Each structure stands twice: as C-alpha cells, then as structure tokens.
Structure 1
C-alpha cells in the first residue's frame, strides 16, 4: 500500500470540514498549527479505501483536572488518540463487518520513545532518583530510550499522567484498537468477532526510533511503517522542513518541494482546539470537553462511550472498570499511571 494514498484520503477529508476548530492566524500575527491523524479502512465489501475517523490536537489535561471528572473530560487530546477514540465510536454505530486492513495516518511522528531522535538534545529537567524511574516525564532525560513517558509539556506546567502516543500505540499491537467498553459490546453482539489491529502507521518520515519503540513488550500484531510525501498544510512549518531535510539526507525518494524560510518560533503556537470527526459526527473540543459548554462531555469521552455501550447491550455495570475487567490484559512492563474508574 502506498502511504501517499492513505495520507491524501485523510487530508482531503480534513480539508472538506468547516474551519471551526482548525488552526488560525491570531490577531497578533501568531500562526497556529496542529497535528492531524486519521484512520483509513479497507472495506472488503466495496474493495475501497475509506477514511472513517479523524482527530486533530496536541493537548493533554493534567491529572489534577481529570482525577475526579467521572470520565467526562478527555485526558488525552493528541490527534492519534482522538482518531482511535473516534474509530471506536464508528465501530459502535456501524459494527466491524467488512473491515479489512486498517491504516493510521499521523502528520508527525508520535510523541515519546518513537521520536526521541528528533530532539537532538533536550531539557534534562530532573536529577537524582528520577534516573531510576521506569516512567519519565515528557522529554526529560531525552537520552534514555525504551522507557515509558508521559505526554510532553513545559517543566512548569501541571503534571499529566497520560502516557505518550508512542507507548499507547505500542500497547495497541497487543490489545487492539478497541476500547474496553467496545470490546465488551463486540463480545455481546458477535461473540467470535476478531480483535481489530492496526495494519500500518503512515507518517511523513519513518524514524530509526520506530522499530525499537514499537517492538517493546513483544507485540502480538506488529504494524508496518509507511512514509508519505504528502504535506499536511496545518502543521508546524519547522517540522515540515525538518522532515523534508531528513528525507533528502537519507536519499529517500521525495516529491516534496519546500522553500525553507526563516522561522520565528515566537510567531507560531500550537492550536488549543481539537477536532473529532466520523461520518456521522463532528465535534470541536476545548480543554477536554465539547467547545462552547462548561459541562458537556465529548462524544468520545469515556462516560459517553460507556453510555452508548450500556444502551446497546442493556448491561449496566456499576463502575467503568466493570467493562475493563472483562476485556483488559496488560503486557509485562506496562505501567498503570492514572486511576480512571468512576460510577456509571
């Protein structure tokens, strides 16, 4: 499969969406950017490739915010994680019949262990005992590889216990793409339904980190890596140029024509908003909840996904962990970092 074809489908779908939630140029001239991720499936009944889920975003909420939110606030709003949650919503509403190969496009390498070589240095935030920890905050101790990391963030930001996208994608090679409630829904509706695993990860650059980072914990269904030369227009200009230069240095076949410009980091900033899309839903997320409301949870939040599954199965466990107890398995070496249980 050609990575450009997958990327084109996702970017084309993103371009067709309304502008609300997309990066913009602020009144002070600062240009916003984001990361885009989308899931493309091969429909075995039509023999066509279809983009069925999409997400954008670069934010994660602090542990202090989500520790008592009862599943109503999205902990992790990084693009690839939102795309996977949107894919789960798609499966709840459409089932998994006729789904063949599954591709995940990301407009930048996943944060964490799979992209540490992009740092070329970093911030050594902590000393002493932290050197021995198996869980490292963000980009601290950037030269330590093969460890679980939390989402990146400034050293003065509130701590998030959401693990990096590298770690979460690595886990999906063992647990599959379906969330615990959706696994439970499948087991009720189609007892012998197979787990859904990712066929390939599509990215603008395939880093040497990928093989090391994604083969931890002896994955049951390892995915492939496909490179694309298609440029996502809403991304970080500095990253786009960096990826193009890396391809050129590696003598990779690239059709990307870029004119590097003098980039001023002060004039760019990550977008604070995220978009979640499926063929039946579109939602803009701010601070982990649906934009425009202080209380409305996202359609892909844990509480909403659980509500949909309870409604579809007429099964109502008292706690969210009731779903997990029937569908979870953790590989050796995985670290649970957040108490995410709540009453339904």
Structure 2
C-alpha cells in the first residue's frame, strides 16, 4: 500500500484515469489565454481496506457544472439529464455501472460448479515500491471463481435459513446440492467493499456556504428579507423542535444557490447567475445528504441490488481548502448541529413476509453519515489543471469561465477488466462508457431533438432500457418472449433447473413475474415506478417511505417533476423520424 494515505492514492488514481480520457472530454484553454474550469467527481471502490490485499478500483469519473431550468424539464421525454453537476453525474454513472455489472453476471450463463477462469492480467506496480500511477505494470496470473469482483448473488438456503453469510457466486449456483430460494433483490455488494467519492471542490449548497461567504469581498452575511410562512401549520408544528439548523420548514420557496448566506442548513437550488432562469434541481449538498439514508443505489439499480450497509458512501474526499468542518457537520452530520440529527438511530425495514415484498431476508435503511476527509490541496492542484482560478492578492486575475461540457466515464464490467492484488492499484484497462455531454445530451445534439441518439446512457430512458435487458436475462418458467440471445439464455437456465430443486418450483417465481410485468409492460416511466412501489417490489415501498421522511426532515423539498409521462418507445428511432416528418 506504500506510505501515501488512502486519500492521496485515491486522488492519484482518479486523476490518472481522467488524464487518459480523449481531448474532447476536457475543458478548453482558448488562444486568448482564457481558460475553462470544471468540477470533477469520481467513485472509487476499495476492497480489503487496510489489508495487504487492498485493491482500489476507479469505476466512474464525471465532470460538470450545469443543470436544466425548470421550464425545460417537460421537453426531456426521459432522454435528457436534468442535473449535470459532477457529483450527481458520478452517482448516476455508478448506478449505470452497477446495472452493467448485474447484466454481465447474468449474461455469462452457467459454468461447471468448480470451473475457474484464469486471466493473465496486468496490474499496477506495488505502491510500496513505486507511488506513481501509470508506470509500466507487472504481469501476474489470477484465478477468478466468481462472476463479479464486486457483486454477489443473495440467496437463502432452505436447510440453513439462519446462515446470513451465504452468497452465490454465479448463476448456476442457484441450483446447488441444497434447495435454495432466489432472493429479491437478487444481488448485493460484497461485504468487504467500501465506496469513496472524490471531488475537486466542495459540493454546492449548504456544505459550501461558509466557503462562499469567505470568498466575498465583504463576507458579512446578507440581510435576510422576510420569508413567506408555510401554510401547512401541522407540518411546521410537527418539526418545531428548536432545530435551528433546519429553518426551511417555514419557507415556501427554495432558496437560490448562493442567496441569503445567513440562512444555513437550508435546502437550496443549484447555484446560477442572477439573470438565469430558475431551476428546481436541488444542490449537491442536499442530494448527498439524502443518499446518507437511502444509500447510493438509485432507481432502477435499487430494484436489483439490496441496500446493505456498504451500499452507502463511506467517505467524501475533498481538497483540504475546500472543507469547512462547520458546514459539513451541519450539512451531513448527525451531531448537535447536524440537520439530519433527528434521524439518528432510526431504521426503516421491510419484513419480507408479503409475497410482493422482498424475499431472502429483511431489508434495512438507516442514517449512515459519511466522513469528510481531506486530500492535500497541493496534490489536487498538481493533478487537476481545470480548477477554478483563485484570486491572489497582487496578481492579475486570469480570465476564466465554467465549462459547458460534461464528461462521463465508467469502467467495464469486472468480468472483462484486469485487476491487481496484494495492495496494488487496480488499473481498469477497458472502458464501458465514455460520453461527452452538453445541456444534458450527447455533444452534437440539441435538447429539443426527438432522436434517441442524443440520449446519454445515464438518462432515464436508457437506464430503463438497460433494466429491461437485464430482466429478460433472468430465468422465467412462462416467459418465452425476447430476443434470441435472451431466449437461449433462459433455455440454458431451464435445462439446468429442471430438477425438483429448480427455481421454477419455488414460490419466488410469482414475484419475479410481477417485477418483469412492471418493467416490461409499463406504458410510462411514472406508471412503472408507481407500480413497483404499490407492489412493494424489493425495497421500493420502504425506500419510498424513507425518501419522504428524509425530505420532511430537510424541509421544503420541491420535486422537479414534469419528465415522467413517456414510455420506452421514445428510444425507437422510427418514432423519432415520424415526429420530424410531422413537424
């Protein structure tokens, strides 16, 4: 692992991946000398932290600082990203990567029970010998005995119901010597995995208010104008417990991103110019605060992966100069000043007794505050050439503006990647996704264009399409639809599962059929999500309750609605051509 701290090694790994991206993914330095700046955010997974076998894997990278105005939302049709701030793109990319990981597990099919796949891999040099990333790696061999390096099957052996540690490593293990039940959600993150987020600047919103104030020529908080009171007196009274870190229960409008510095602990909009049209996208601080309770698993990944304790963010890594301990304790913490402190000790559970609920054990949500840990500012400035220029007394201020391009990168599924071991950095040599986006769509397309080619893989429509593909790979006793590959995959499952211990004879099949019905036949995105919640599929019902409770504690959470009434037909190119023809 070397002498460098975990924070420094994660930062170095992220920057090495970003440096390898194509020029189109990076901000521009103009001939005039003016330059663009952009925030970067990344998700890094750590397996076996603090052990000789520790492995770091960068799975997503994103840059961005823009979001859509509220008037643009109803034009999106599921194909446009509402929020292109780096932190939010990184989380969406992480969930896309998880879905691809699930798909890869299912697509690998059935292997002999004791089959081992040997890869000749390229790993990074041991950090004990060389702390630099990107040097020529060493060669070694590794045996892989499970379908994913990061995700396991959940299952419940009927003969050993109390063994909570049981996991399935590949699809064929659904039918081993003991009778098993397919759990739902079917997957979970491996238990020795931790999730870290690295960013080059503080999240917008409450966690950066003190930094914003300090950067003003006059850091005195602005005078606060009278705010409208909430007409819902019951809601106000139910939360009037003296929580001074949460004043937003008494307001009816979201605060602008940088307005009213004296109001702290408030839910805010994304920051924008004073003359810009308003947005209903909440700040990154607010969205990250919610993730501390609902986990990093968003829809639809939460339908397939259980919200285990390690599905929550372990720590947020930021440059030391970008951390205000007071602000972070208030925005994210559960201490005396924390705006989520009343959630301490609360737990939301699905008991799994209902046929339509989760199968394979109780699913729990709880408040898991992440830590905010520093990375040396000098290291970040050395590795990140696209930070916002600082005003230095006595020096001429450099011209700069925020970039309008967002870059998104994700690693390939772990079954196709190459990893190091024994404390080595895991350099993923294959890429699953590399997109350049402007205004929430792929570069070269307009937001208003009807073609699905504009849609990012992270868009709602494309994520639903990916979920559909995954559902068609799951075994089913009565579903013979789908493309030839999916049908062949099911035939292989059914041949292997034709004994009395087969999945087709277990009571979980009706649940699987309901999940498939929701995903494959819903007429609109809104109907699909509502049906999943109504039926309590997986953790959906309890997750919805958690979301409502957290937003109530934060107060004044205004939903950014208007992009729900569309179906998967928006991804049909022929439909788009008909729309153009009518115009």
TMscore range, shorter length: 0.7 to 0.9
Task: Select which of 519, 525, 548 maps to 1:320.
Answer: 525
Q: Which residue of 1 aligns with 2:445?
A: 293
Q: Which residue of 1 aligns with 2:409?
A: 277
Q: Which residue of 1 aligns with 2:316?
A: 201
Q: Quick check: 2:204–2:285 contact (8 Å CA) kept in 1?
A: yes
Q: Which residue of 2 aligns with 1:255?
A: none
Q: Which residue of 2 aligns with 1:29?
A: 33
Task: Select which of 327, 333, 336 maps to 2:553.
Answer: 333
Gapped regions of structure 2 (runs ≥ 5): 103-149, 152-189, 214-218, 230-249, 334-338, 345-366, 412-431, 473-518, 534-539, 568-583
Q: Distance in 1 between matches of 2:403 and 2:471?
A: 38
Between 14-23 and 283-292, the greater mean CA deviation after superposition: 14-23
Q: Which residue of 1 aligns with 2:390?
A: 238
Q: How many residues are paired up?
A: 320
TM superposition shift of 1:66: 1.5
Q: Which residue of 1 aligns with 2:516?
A: none
Q: Distance in 1 between matches of 2:193 and 2:86?
A: 23
Mark the CA change 1:199 to 1:193 in structure 2 (over 3 Å): closer, same or farther.
closer
Q: Distance in 1 between matches of 2:433 and 2:223?
A: 41
Q: Quick check: 1:185–1:309 contact (8 Å CA) kept in 2?
A: no
Mark the CA change 1:108 to 1:193 in structure 2 (over 3 Å): closer, same or farther.
closer
Q: Distance in 2 between matches of 1:10 and 1:342?
A: 37
Give the greater-gyration-radius structure (CA): 2
Q: Does 1:311 align with 2:433?
A: no
Task: Select which of 124, 129, 140 maps to 2:259.
Answer: 140
SS of equivalent to 2:196: strand
SS of equivalent to 2:305: helix
Between 319-328 and 66-75, the greater mean CA deviation after superposition: 319-328
Between 125-134 and 315-324, the greater mean CA deviation after superposition: 125-134
Between 89-98 and 77-86, the greater mean CA deviation after superposition: 89-98
Q: Distance in 2 between matches of 1:2 and 1:319?
A: 44
Q: Which residue of 2 aligns with 1:19?
A: 23
Mark the CA change 1:47 to 1:154 in structure 2 (over 3 Å): closer, same or farther.
same
Mark the CA change 1:122 to 1:154 in structure 2 (over 3 Å): closer, same or farther.
farther
- Residue deviations 1:4-27, cap 9 Å, x none? 111111111111111113111124
Mark the CA change 1:125 to 1:299 in structure 2 (over 3 Å): closer, same or farther.
farther
Q: Does 1:262 align with 2:395?
A: yes
Residues 86-105 of structure 1 correspond to what in structure 2 (within 5 A)? 86-95=93-102, 96-97=150-151, 98=190, 100-105=193-198
Q: Which residue of 1 aligns with 2:108?
A: none
TM-score scaled to structure 1, two decimals? Answer: 0.85
Q: Quick check: 2:224–2:262 contact (8 Å CA) kept in 1?
A: no
Q: Quick check: 1:43–1:49 contact (8 Å CA) kept in 2?
A: yes
TM superposition shift of 1:123: 8.9
Q: Distance in 2 between matches of 1:178 and 1:336?
A: 21
Q: Distance in 2 between matches of 1:341 and 1:139?
A: 29
Q: Distance in 2 between matches of 1:122 and 1:94?
A: 49
Q: Quick check: 2:25–2:406 contact (8 Å CA) kept in 1?
A: yes
SS of equivalent to 1:82: helix
TM-score scaled to structure 2, two decimals? Answer: 0.52
Q: Does 1:128 align with 2:226?
A: yes
TM superposition shift of 1:40: 0.4
Q: Which residue of 2 aligns with 1:157?
A: 276
TM superposition shift of 1:337: 2.3
TM superposition shift of 1:237: 2.1
SS of equivalent to 1:77: strand
Q: Which residue of 1 aligns with 2:368?
A: 221
SS of equivalent to 1:180: coil
Q: Distance in 2 between matches of 1:5 and 1:20?
A: 26
Q: Does 1:211 align with 2:329?
A: yes
